[in-house]
Amino acid sequence: MRVGFYQCSPEFGSVEANLDQYTQALEGVQADVVVLPELGNSGYLFLNLEEVKSMAEPADGPTFEFLHTLAKKHNTHLVLGFPERKGDHFYNSSMLVGPEGLMGVYRKVHLFYEEKLYFQPGNLGFPVFEIDGVKVGMLVCFDHLFPEAARVLALQGAQIVLHPSNLVMPTKAQLSTRVRSMENKMFWVMCNRYGTEDRGEKSLTYTGESQIVDPDGMVLANAPAEGDCLQVVEIDPAKASDKKVTSRNDLLEDRRPEVYQL
């Protein structure tokens, strides 16, 4: 299985240009799944609810249609963060789109900073989907800092975490995603945007350094702190099904939930 990310720097509000960039970046790509950034159609730094309302769309909206066309063209699967409208509510969501269509939606459970002003916390739990028989889950950005999130995915059999991000705290997720991968024996594909988003009264700089990690916590591929970067690596997802670290230790079976009371 070939998994990858495309690190880039979406421009706030320029949905069409951002999506066009994915078309260009993925030209000729050979991958089973490629992860794109959080809020990767709209940009991240909303200043008010009106801006969210103006760009949010349903999971089967035009951004989905665009990705579906792209997924069919390259016979691949794509993961992209987007501001989701569902009835009167808005979520910081991620969609998984394949040649067959919309395969899954995840709504960010752990909202970061001012996202709390605009988005509802995710109400779909941590669903697991299948890509050609391989179980995958999605997390979005700040979720990485809560070990429970990846753990719940692992306990449901997820072999790969697909992780669109817009990280602003340097190096933390580059460490934590390695440890999450180790402690759950999973693969992890983190796509983090880079660049500065200057909205006048507010500004954020994102940290790049997207990375793909194996179930031993080793980095298989990574990107620099700045710059567009497409990386695809071949992995054996079966390695994420074996949770043993010694002949007597299985990292999921050795858990003792009766002691945790979490």
Q: Contact residues for its own copies (CB under 8 A)?
A: 109-114, 116, 121-122, 125-126, 142, 145-149, 151-152, 155, 169, 172, 175-176, 178-180, 182-183, 217, 245-249, 251, 254-257, 259-262
Contacts by residues 254-259 (CB-CB < 8 Å, ≥ 24 positions apart): none
**By C-beta, is 66 or 142 nearer to its own copies?**
142
- Closest contact distance (angstroms) between CB of 45 and its own copies is 14
**By C-beta, is 1 or 109 nearer to its own copies?**
109
Of 172, 216, 174, 215, nearest to 191 (Cα)? 174
- Closest contact distance (angstroms) between CB of 126 and its own copies is 7
Distance from C-alpha of 115 to C-alpha of 105, rounded to nearest angstrom: 18
Length of the chain: 262
Torsion of the alpha carbons at 105, 90, 211 and 189, rounded to the nearest 10: -10
- Closest contact distance (angstroms) between CB of 139 and its own copies is 12
211 in Cβ contact with 7 (< 8 Å): no
**By C-beta, is 145 or 225 nearer to its own copies?**
145
Distance from C-alpha of 103 to C-alpha of 77, rounded to nearest angstrom: 9
**By C-beta, is 29 or 145 nearer to its own copies?**
145
Residues serving a catalytic function are 38, 108, 141
- Closest contact distance (angstroms) between CB of 91 and its own copies is 14
